[in-house]
Amino acid sequence: MAEIFPVVFLPSGRRGEFAAGTPLLEAARQLGVDIDSVCGGRGLCGRCQIHCMTGNFPKHNMTASIDHLSAFTETERRFEERKGALSAGRRLSCHALIEGPLLIDVPPESQVHRQVVRKSAVARDIDLDLDFHLHFVTVSAATLDEGGSDLSRLKQALADQWGLENLTYDTSVLAQIHAALVEGEGDVTAAIFRGDPQPRIGAVWPGLVDHVYGIAMDIGSTTVALHLTDLTTGEVVVSNGAMNPQIRFGEDLMSRVSYVLMHPEGTAEMTSEIRSTVNQLITEAAAEAGIETGHIIEMAVAGNPIMHHLFLGIDPSPLGSAPFELAIDQAVIMPARELGLKICPGGRLYLPPCIAGHVGADTTSVILSEQPYKSEVITLIVDIGTNAEIVLGNQHKLLACSSPTGPAFEGAQLSCGQRATAGAIERVRIDRVTLGVRYRVIGSELWSDDPDFAESVADLSITGICGSGIIEAIAEMYLAGVLTADGVIRAALAETSDRVIPDGRTFAFELISGEIPVRITQNDVRQIQLAKAALYAGVKLLMDRFPVETIDRIKIAGAFGSNIDVKYAMVLGLIPDCGLDQVVSVGNAASTGVRIALLNAAARAELESVVQNVEKIETATEADFQQYFVDAMAIPHKTDPFSQLFQVVEKPAEVRAASTSGSRGGRRGRRKRTD
């Protein structure tokens, strides 16, 4: 009889007794310890690396040593030749045999369910819980006597070598197996998707494949963003983006629906356009990463309901009028090739669930990212794009709506507006007395009054102002007394300041003069007022319906949210009162959510369960929404906390005299717009 030794695995602390000569990987398997392996114990993939501790460990009641493992093998030496030396204490657990008491640490990169730090502005961990696994197998050669087929021999090998029984297959693998067997000389890697009742062979590649990829994508009305992700590590390898080509059919959602209503082939046209762009982005990203598109085997895609339907080839026109009926609200999982997506033919596409006609897979992705359903704290999430997606609630209740802010926050439809790209004004300060302007532009770290500013922007062309810039400009105009609470540029100031200049029958405020002047016109102010009123009215509606009087925490998502100074958002009344330290920008939360959906099958299930209980509020048909919208047009007069945050200056005497005399007693007393 072989001697028996204790073995403890960390971090799980699982412990067992094993006969001398047992491979460590085998011991781990028996204890249910989470160690990865793709090559099936052949010392090829290196995924099963462990760290062997040496010393006396009273807590575990053992004296452990790396010498209690069998000698370093020729296979491990060959692995080091190919992939680089193993660090001290490291062994391939498939080749190290137990020969004494052992304390084994399984490093995170060897765990199947490891955590990954994502590369983005807001660092957060995403657990890997993929719904497939890679299996390397050696398939016996076909003979005349045996009969059968390539598929049956592959299935037999997967059964013999990995204990995988009862497998079904994606039809696309039929065209792959033979070539893979020939090229790999019998060695192939199969991707096996989880499945109930039958797991499924989704792809077969020649030789050992230990890195495969996924794509997380957010299809917005205006832009499409794609993240090519290494599913082995969870890391984003390449990010890529493009304009949504459907823009030529209409800038906003409703004009695209109108296009469909007026063109019988409209859905097919727009579906074809977006899928082409997505394929182009996939091809480019794969080329940049130096990988084959055939190694991309999962995709997760977020988008508002109209983008979601058009991507799937479903007529979106029912979403354009009451009752705003979705074709499907549950999550969609399907072969990606059904949409003609050029990834691995057996690869899968996942779309998170939608909630209602205006509350789609983009909003549910935000919910997955920010998880308001896990906290007691009442959280407001606003995701600002061409529409604002708004979610309010906590672990007991969640409400959601979508509010038509239009594209002003993205810099569109403004006289000097532009996207948030290099050369756009993004920060503005206006002197309370002189009305002198300081600003910063994207691409320079310096303010415009810095002596080195001119040099720092020498290569940039300053041509306009982006969404976050105009919010600051309008808030500063208000704080400097240029703007009334109703959003009117004070005409009287034209007499004392050359920055306030006539513009047709109204006035404009000039930020930059010269050849390409940048001005905020009265109409620009109106556009921002309309947008912020829509946003605030949506928030107010959700607060009413919850019902709740105050918000504990506010999360601003989206590119706009990443750039904005939240103080200014509060000055303008985009968001309700909340302690400033409780207002955070969470970056592109829809993208984060869809990345989580890509990497974590359990999170998908959790989301699908959570959204069943999200209450949707339909802004388009709520009478209250119209009233809140009108009420929210004005710029709120707040003494607190803004008096502490901003220098409150005396307004010029003329201006004070010219100002309207009505009551402005805080939020409740906000005046209706009368012009």
Residues that bind its own copies (CB under 8 A): 142-144, 147-152, 171, 174-175, 177-179, 196-197, 312-315, 318, 322-330, 332, 334, 337-338, 354-356, 616, 618, 621
Nearer to its own copies, 56 or 171 (CB): 171
Residue with smaller CB distance to its own copies, 151 or 630: 151
**DSSP, res 621:** G
Q: Looking at beta carbons only, is 143 or 663 nearer to its own copies?
A: 143
Look at strands 506-512 and 464-465 and give their pairing: unpaired
Least separation in angstroms between residue 649's CB and its own copies is 49
Beta bridge partners of 125: 117
CB of 314 to its own copies, least distance (A): 5
Strand partners, 483: 489
Residues 170-206 as b or e (16 or more Cβ within 10 Å = b): bebbeebbeebbeebebbbbbbbbeeeeebbbbbbbb
Helix 601-611 to helix 361-370 angle (10° resolution) is: 110
Q: Which is nearer to its own copies, 174 or 446 (CB)?
A: 174
Decide whether 271 or 497 has the Cβ nearer to its own copies: 271
Rounded Cα–Cα distance for residues 439 and 458 (Å): 15
Q: Give the nearest distance from C-beta 328 to its own copies in angstroms.
A: 4
Residue 84, Cβ density class (10 Å: 0-12 exposed, 13-18 middle, ≥19 buried): exposed
Q: Which is nearer to its own copies, 153 or 499 (CB)?
A: 153
Tell me whether residue 144 or residue 653 sits nearer to its own copies (CB atom).
144
Nearest CB to its own copies, comparing residues 84 and 197: 197
- When computed from its CA atoms, the radius of gyration of the chain, rounded to whole angstroms, is 30
425 contacts: CB under 8 Å, gap ≥ 6: 439, 440, 441, 462, 464, 465, 466, 469, 473, 511, 512, 518
Q: In this structure, what are the phi and psi dihedrals at residue 7, rounded to the nearest 5 degrees? A: -135, 130
User: Cα–Cα distances in Å, from 61 out to 6, 27, 50, 101?
Assistant: 10, 19, 20, 10
- Looking at the Cβ atoms of 43 and 318, the one nearer to its own copies is 318
Minimum separation from the CB atom of position 189 to its own copies (A): 18
User: Could you tell me the smallest distance in angstroms from the CB atom of residue 204 to its own copies?
Assistant: 11
Give the residue with the Cβ less far from its own copies, 86 or 328: 328
CB of 152 or CB of 513, closer to its own copies: 152
For its own copies, the closer CB: 85 or 182: 182
Shortest Cβ 391–its own copies spacing (Å): 16
Q: Would you mind telling me the total number of residues written for the chain in this entry?
A: 675
What contacts 382, CB < 8 A, 6 or more positions away? 388, 389, 390, 535, 539, 554, 555, 556, 557, 561, 574, 575
Q: How far is the CB of 350 from its own copies (least distance, A)?
A: 12
Which residue(s) pair with 287 in the sheet? none
| Smallest gap from residue 666 Cβ to its own copies (A) | 34
Whole-number minimum distance, CB 610 to its own copies, in Å? 15
- Minimum distance of its own copies from residue 264's CB (angstroms): 12
**What's the closest the beta carbon of residue 625 comes to its own copies, in angstroms?**
13
Task: Let me know the angle formed at the C-alpha of 207 by 599 and 22, rounded to the nearest 5 degrees.
Answer: 80
Cα–Cα–Cα angle for 89, 93, 99, rounded to 5 degrees: 75
CA distances from 131 to 189, 236, 299 (A): 16, 18, 12
CB of 621 to its own copies, least distance (A): 6
> Within 13 Å, how many C-alpha atoms sit on residue 243's CB side?
8
- Phi, psi of 522, deg, nearest 5: -60, -40
Q: Taking the complex as a whole, how short is the minimal distance between the CB of residue 41 and its own copies, in angstroms?
A: 28
CB 95 within 8 A of CB 35: no
Q: CB–CB of 310/316 below 8 Å?
A: yes
Could you tell me the end-to-end alpha-carbon distance of the chain, in angstroms, rounded to an integer?
Answer: 96
- Identify the residue whose tokens are 């995403």: 126
The distance of closest approach from Cβ of residue 618 to its own copies in the complex, given in angstroms and rounded to an integer, is 6
Q: Cα 178 to chain center, whole Å? A: 38
Q: Return the H-helix or E-strand segment holding 407.
A: none
Distance, in Å, from the CA atom of 50 to the CA atom of 35, rounded to the nearest integer, reads 9
CB nearer to its own copies: give 2 or 175. 175
C-alpha span between 282 and 297 (Å, rounded): 12
Comparing CB distances to its own copies, the nearer of 76 and 150 is 150
